[in-house]
Amino acid sequence: MSSSALAPLLRPVVALPATMSISDVADRLLTAEHKAFLSLPVVDDAGRPLGLVSRYRLQDIFMQRFGRDLWGRRPVVDVMNPEPLIVSLETGLEEAARQITGQLQYPITEDFVLVDGAGRYQGLGTVLDLLKAMEVRVAQRNRVLRRALTELRESQTQLVQAEKMASLGQMVAGVAHELNTPLGYVKNNVELLRELIAPLFELAEAQAALGDCLSAADSDGQALARALESAAQARDRVAPELLAGDLEQLFADTRYGLGQIGELVVGLKDFARLDRAMSEEVDLNDCVRSTLVIARNGIKDKVEVLTRLGELPRIACAPSQINQVLLNLLNNAAQAMERFGRILVKTWAEPDALCLSVQDDGCGMPPEVLKRIFDPFYTTKPVGQGTGLGLSISFKIIQDHGGSIQVASEVGRGTRFLIRLPLTQAASLQRSA
């Protein structure tokens, strides 16, 4: 029985036989050991509970005129409640609490009867004990919940970080790939330059020898002819009429490649202003431009990106976060393409807000997808491709900026995200910083 969840509630009160007189019961209720109980159980010969007789009921009777004389000798069954609260000891604590509190009548004038599996009386339980036990249980559960909440928050932070790393990883892979191309041909060009220049040294040497020959007092005609001949050959190998053009071309290509590498590096640097605080005065168009430099590489096989950037006042925001939102929207748009498509990024200013829209002509979304896209972990992409966190993080970022993010989409036609960043909010953020 001790394994029962209700065992701590069990008070082994001796039950009354049905035939016991009401007076005797009243006397028993007055003894010290029964003082804690609101009622006493009555059982039949087989030990099954018949009912409960409550202190209040007896008081009621005895306070009537001649109550004790009229009722005292009658058997207790006459005044008991024949439908007491009965709970099996096999019941769990919470189920018992549910049963009992569900049937409680106020004011509380009765205890409840605990029975074994066979329905035999085992003892009494009091509502007070039950409530105390529940309180302990609730406190325990709260502790567990609090711990779960902390763990959930931690894992959420980790997931947000993971999504950030995933999109950064994609981006870095794209940038690395893009750096590789100009790096490759700059390297080739340098190699070619070395090869093209080598005959120039030979020519210089041959001409120096020719010069020596001419200026030497004792040189004969044969030696001079030889020197002239090798100088001419060296000149042929150099082919200066072609070399100039080739060199020009090589240098131009190399300079272009280095320019591209430089542009990417600057883009990366702008994009990754991770350590700079919120409330910086930023030109949103710069965010768009630097994110595009970075994102374009990863998505240009699938889409052409067009921009229409309007004149904007500077705004206080966290640029690295805004970049993250933009990168998310661009990646999503590229991933929504069924064939080579187009993304249009627009910015414009309204009197009280800056607006930015990202519009694609991809697959679009049906309403049932549309209404869930900002839910954390909601993704329609295969495992490994989508975390379902991009938009929920973006939503949070825009919300933190006091802005809004809206979406309109039509299956087969495309999707448009519209972000509004209020200028006043930005101003107050700036002040608070």
Ligand X SMILES: Nc1ncnc2c1ncn2[C@@H]1O[C@H](COP(=O)(O)OP(=O)(O)O)[C@@H](O)[C@H]1O
In the complex, the residues that contact ligand X under the rule CB under 6 A are 328, 332-333, 336, 360, 362-365, 369, 373, 378-381, 386-392, 415
Shortest gap between Cβ of 379 and Mg ion (angstroms)? Answer: 8
What's the min distance (Å) between Cβ of 332 and Mg ion? 4
Residue 259 and residue 107: Cα distance in Å, rounded?
87
Span from 125-133, 194-202, 251-259, 325-333 in contact with Mg ion (CB under 5 A): 325-333
Nearest distance from C-beta of residue 331 to Mg ion, angstroms: 6
Nearest to 134 by CA among 163, 168, 95: 95
Minimum CB separation of residue 195 from ligand X in Å reads: 49
Both tokens of 216, joined, read: 């030497």
Mask for 245-284, x = binds Mg ion (CB under 5 A): ----------------------------------------
> According to the binding rule CB under 5 A, does residue 332 interact with Mg ion?
yes
Partner residues linked to 341 by β-bridges: 303
381 binds, among ligand X, Mg ion, none (CB under 5 to 8 A by kind): ligand X
- List the single partner that 380 binds among ligand X, Mg ion, none, CB under 5 to 8 Å by kind: ligand X
Residue spans of alpha helices (H) in 51-113 = 55-63, 67-71, 93-103
| Closer of 199 and 364 to ligand X (Cβ) | 364
CB of 268 to Mg ion, least distance (A): 21
Instruction: Kindly state the tokens that stand for 389.
Output: 């966190």
Question: Could you give the CA distance from residue 133 to residue 380 in angstroms, rounded to a whole number?
Answer: 47
d(CA 272, CA 260): 18
- 361, interface contact from ligand X, Mg ion, none, CB < 5-8 Å by kind: none
Look at residues 337, 273, 272 and name the one whose alpha carbon lies nearest to residue 305: 337
Q: How far is the CB of 423 from Mg ion (least distance, A)?
A: 28
Q: Is the peptide bond before 107 cis (omega within 30 degrees of 0)?
A: yes
Per-residue contact string for residues 382-401; x = within reach of Mg ion by CB under 5 A: --------x-----------
CB of 332 to ligand X, least distance (A): 3
Structure-block tokens of residue 105: 């009548």
Nearer to Mg ion, 362 or 390 (CB): 390
Q: Which residues contact 297 (CB under 8 A, 6 or more apart)?
A: 174, 175, 177, 178, 264
3-class SS letters over 338-355: CCCEEEEEEEEEECCEEE
Shortest spacing between CB 375 and ligand X, in angstroms? 8
CB closer to ligand X out of 119 and 169: 169
Q: Of 189 and 409, which CB lies nearer to ligand X in the complex structure?
A: 409
Residue 336's binding partner, choosing from Mg ion, ligand X, none, with beta-carbon cut-off 5 to 8 A by kind?
ligand X
Nearer to ligand X, 270 or 360 (CB): 360
Q: Which is nearer to Mg ion, 185 or 378 (CB)?
A: 378
Single-letter amino acid code for the residue at 149 = L
How many C-beta atoms lie closer than 10 Å to residue 249's C-beta? Answer: 12
SS3 417: strand
Residue at 78: amino acid letter: D
Residue span binding Mg ion (CB under 5 A) among the ranges 100-108, 158-166, 198-206, 329-337: 329-337
Please tell me whether residue 362 binds Mg ion under the rule CB under 5 A: no
CA distance 424 to 400: 14
Q: Least distance (Å) from Mg ion to the CB of residue 392? A: 10
CB under 5 to 8 A by kind: which of Mg ion, ligand X, none does 175 bind? none
Nearer to Mg ion, 84 or 390 (CB): 390
Query: SS3 of 202, please?
Result: helix
Return d(Cα 50, Cα 75) in angstroms, integer.
Answer: 13
- Give the DSSP letter of residue 387: -
**Closer by beta carbon to ligand X, 279 or else 347:** 347
Looking at beta carbons only, is 290 or 332 nearer to Mg ion?
A: 332
User: Alpha-carbon distance 147 to 144, whole Å?
Assistant: 5
Instruction: Give the residue carrying structure tokens 């768009």.
Output: 288
- Which residues of the chain form contacts with Mg ion (CB under 5 A)? 332, 390
